[in-house]
Amino acid sequence: MVFEKIKGSVVIIAIGGVQQQCEAWLRKKEVFCKVGSGFIGLRRNNTSVTRIQLVDFDLGSEHVFAYTETGRMVLKDHPDADKPFLYDRKKKRCA
Question: What pLDDT is attached to residue 22?
Answer: 94
Question: What pLDDT is attached to residue 86?
Answer: 55
What contacts 79, CB < 8 A, 6 or more positions away? Answer: none
Question: What pLDDT is attached to residue 78?
Answer: 87
Strand-pair category, 52-58 with 4-5 = unpaired
Average pLDDT over residues 19-28: 94
Question: What pLDDT is attached to residue 55?
Answer: 94
Prediction pTM value = 0.81
Instruction: Give the confidence band of 70 by pLDDT, cuts at 50, 70, 90.
Output: confident
Query: Could you report how far apart the first and last alpha carbons of the chain are, in Å?
Result: 30
- Cα–Cα distance list, 13 to 6, 47, 61, 67, 79 (Å): 17, 9, 19, 19, 27
15-51 CB burial, b ≥16 within 10 A, e <16: eeeeeeebbbbbeebbbbbebeeebbbbbeeebeeee
Question: What pLDDT is attached to residue 59?
Answer: 87
Question: What pLDDT is attached to residue 95?
Answer: 52
